[in-house]
Every structure is written in C-alpha cells, then in structure tokens.
A and B are shown apart, each in its own frame.
Chain A
Amino acid sequence: MITACAVDDLPAGESVRVSGDVAIAVFNADGEFYAIDDTCSHQDASLSEGWLEGCFVECPLHAASFDLRTGVPTCLPAKKPVRTYPVVVQDGVIYVDTRSREAVA
C-alpha cells in the first residue's frame, strides 16, 4: 500500500503522479478515485498529465484514451492496456494497493 496524497489535495478533475518502482497516476474522476500505471502503454508519456474526461484519460502525447476502470485503451495508437490498482481512502488519505496488481483485460 503506498500513499498517494490527501483527499483534499486531489479535487475532482485532477490527477497526481506517485513515483515508485513503477510510477502510478491517481485520478479524481468526478469524486471517484482511480489508479493506473502512469506511463502510457504506447510510448513514453505520463498519463497523470493527460486530459481527464469522465472516467477516461487521454494521453498527453498521442491522444490514446484509456478507461480508468479497466486500463483498456479505446483507440489507437495504444494497443496494450495499462495496469489498474485498487484505491483505498482512509482518514482523508488516498492509498494505492500495489501488492495485488490486478490482471488486466
């Protein structure tokens, strides 16, 4: 379990990059928190810098769009999904569970 940030520091529509062995991007999509691999599965770009629309994030480099719930890309140029992680909110802090890396579709 890694600490992302305080809930208050991640208002709706915002994202944060959490560095670690593998960088993770955490999003607040209209009040729901999602965590995915920060690096786009297509080429080197940080998804936490992408454009958030509903529960989809668009890569800031080539506009590949990923579903935050599943990590699955919805259009080219990305072909492979990114990993998704469970998010836990406790005492006003957002945590990402990286131990149980969820299998992706």
Chain B
Amino acid sequence: MRTVVVAGASLAGLRSVEELRKQGFDGRVVVIGEEVHAPYDRPPLSKAFLAGTLPAEELALAEQSDVDEWAAEWRLGVRAERVDPHAGEIHLSTGEIVRTDGLVIATGGRARTLPGTSALGGVHTLRTLDDAVALRADLRPGARVVVVGAGWIGAEVASTCRELGLDVTVAEAAPVPMERALGASLGRICADLHADHGVDLRLGVGVAGFTADGTRVNGVTLQDGSHLPADVVVAGVGMEPATGWLHGSGLPLDNGVLCDTGCVTPIPSVVAVGDVARYRTPEGRQVRHEHWTNASEQPVVAVRNLLAGTTLDTFRPSGYVWSDQYGVRLQLAGETSGADEIAMIDGSPDDRKFVAEFRRDGHAVGVLAMNNAKLFGRMRRRLSAAAGH
C-alpha cells in the first residue's frame, strides 16, 4: 500500500492520519476535507465557543508540530464526490482524480434540518464551526430562542442561550427527553434541569410549522396549536451520515457505510470510521455511534485492519458520552438502551450529584453520572473490564 486517502478531516479523519503514522505507514497520505478549516473540536461549539468564552483558535485538534510530522497532504475546502474502489480512484469536487491503494471513509454527517425552513432566515442547525459562528451572530441580546429537540445538542444550546440571558423554549416531540438513552426516570431529571433554569420546556408535542416576517422566521407553531414567538430557531434533531458521494461505488450503504466488526467494508482496502461507520458488533448487530469518543477510538482498529489487508482486530466501543449543561456535567458509558433496571448507587438526583447503574438480567451494562467524575471513572473501567476490553 503506497497511498491512503482519508476522506473527512474532522476528529475521525485526523485520528486516522495519526494512527497511520503511528502504526508505521510511511507512504503518501491525502486528506480530503469539505470544510475549509483545519481539524477542530466540535463539542465546544454548543458550549464555550457559542457562549463566546473560547476563541476559534483554541478549537484546533492537533498541534502544528504533530501535523508537520505526519506529513499528510491536506486538501481542505475540497469534496470527495465519487469513488471507484476497484480502480482505486477518488473523484474530487475540483475535477481532479486521486489514485489510491487504501481509503478511510470519515465523512461524518450532516445535521438534519426542519422541513420547510430551507429558505427561512434565523433557523439554524449546529454541527460545523460555520454553523456555530452563524448561530452566535444571531444570539443578540433580547432574542427569543426556540430549540427544537431536547437531545444532547438541543439541551446544550438551550443551556448556553440561558447563560447568555436569552428567553428559551425547548420543544420536544417525545414525552420525556433522552428517554431511549436514559430511561424515563433519568430522562425526567434532564427535563428538571431545563425547568430549573427558566426554560419553557414543551414535551410530547411536535412542530407543525413556522411563521415568518418576510424571509425571516418569527415563530414556531406546535401541533397542539400553540404559537411560540421566535427570533432564532435551532434544530437539534439529529444527523444523517454523509454517504451520498458513495452511491454507485458498490459499497453497501444503509444508514451509514456497512462494515464488519473491525470497521472494514467488503472491500478490504476500504474502511469506515466515526459517525458514518455502521459496523457489526460481535453479537451481529449493525450499529453506528455519533460520539466524539467513538470517532477518536475507531481509527486505531480500522487503520490496523486496513494496513493488514484483513480484519485482525475487533472494535469494542466504550460508549462514552459527556454533556455539560446548566452547570452540571453528565457522563454516560456502556449500553444503556437495553437495561431492565436502573439503580441509584450514589448520591441523589435532588442534589444534582449522583451515579446510576443500568442493569440487564442483574448485570451492569451502563452507568450515568451527574457531577461525579471520580466514581464514574471507576465504574466505567469496571464496565469495560467486564465486557472483556
């Protein structure tokens, strides 16, 4: 293998470059990144960066000295538009064709948008640095903000907007926020956090449409008929994996790039990592994670298998997610969605400091902590040890 193309220049792409060099690949590495920015850290975009307390320069994911040492060719502001894996050709938006022996697909995804808002000013999604810059510019003093979706991003944006002193309403179609990941009782604690901080939380009601003054949004109509005046609307309604450019490549696509237990596609010279990768678990399920830790961890295994030309290593996710909202830190690890029991093992939700264990058939499968990083760290380790990491 003489050339490897890494398609995608965010965390998963950057970590792939780092792993290629760490694991001894000394050939040509070409990174294709649609955004013009050098790899940056996304989690602060909904928090410190949006609040204006962290400048863009501090978002850089890598030190320049490391970037220099890796000696990759960075093609930023350029899209990979088509791939022919058998010919080993990547077609770029510039019209160029890059010939390659190996391909790491790390194209992530795009934020889902709200139907009927594409032409409306004041309606935002939040995934990229440019998104965050645009949203921040709209968060003027006195602005009324409606956040659609009370998931991680929605909750963090709502929290930051309250910190900025803005009026915030959060509309969530589900009866309890975060119910799938946290269960109803812990989900309700997340609802309480919104309420404690003066957010008007509307649960169990979907969005019916938008009202506008000219081309700019001025309100959100909910399915129960209520109307929320809004100067700014933020959609936190999830993301879609960026696989459009892979149509016609012969690679299997279904809500992501389908790959095996080691992030390898049916073509051994093509691997997928990060938000776009839908890999097979040892139990045979295809799963895709949309988390920072996953994007950071998968390249270790994917690159090893790519360089070996076969699946030597199996990816074992840590399932670790964190969120800072309303002055509390939430940390979650493991496989929480299949739990049949949730036990409070330390502290209490009322004190906003606790650790809860998720169990299935009496065995620990996940852990959620609020403001208790120390105990969380210990339990997370115990979980990975039990899972055979």
Contacts and interface: CB of A to CB of B under 8 A. Distances in A.
Interface in A35-76: 43-46, 49-51, 58, 60-63, 76
A49 B378 CA distance: 10
Contact of B377 (A43, A50, A76, A79): A50
B61 interface: yes
Contacts of B43: 43
A51 B381 contact: yes
Contacts of B381: 51
A49 B371 CA distance: 11
Contact of B18 (A43, A50, A51, A76): A76
Interface residues of A, number: 15
B62 A76 contact: yes
Contacts of A77: 41, 61, 296
B15 A61 contact: no
B376 interface: yes
A45 B373 contact: yes
Interface residues on B, range: 20 to 34
Nearest to B44: A43
Contacts of A49: 373-374, 377
Interface in B314-335: 322, 324, 329, 331
B297 to A, nearest CB: 10
Contacts of B322: 61-62
A60 B63 contact: no
Interface string B33-65: 000000001011000100000000000111100
A62 B61 CA distance: 13
Determine chain B's interface SS by DSSP, over half rule.
Answer: helix
A76 B61 contact: yes
Interface in B296-322: 296, 322
A62 B60 CA distance: 15
B23 to A, nearest CB: 15
A95 to B, nearest CB: 24
A46 B63 contact: no
B287 to A, nearest CB: 21
A73 to B, nearest CB: 10
Given A43-B44, A76-B61, A77-B41, A51 B377 contact: yes
Contacts of B60: 79
Given A43-B44, A76-B15, A76-B18, A60 B377 contact: yes
Contacts of A50: 373, 377
Contacts of B18: 76
A61 B373 contact: yes
Contacts of A45: 373
Contacts of A60: 331, 373-374, 376-377
Interface string A65-105: 00000000000110100000000000000000000000000
Contacts of A62: 292-293, 322
B373 A46 contact: yes
Interface of B: 15, 18, 41, 43-44, 48, 60-63, 292-293, 296, 322, 324, 329, 331, 373-374, 376-378, 381
> What 4 A-B pairs are tightest by C-beta distance, nearest first?
A60-B373, A49-B374, A49-B373, A79-B63
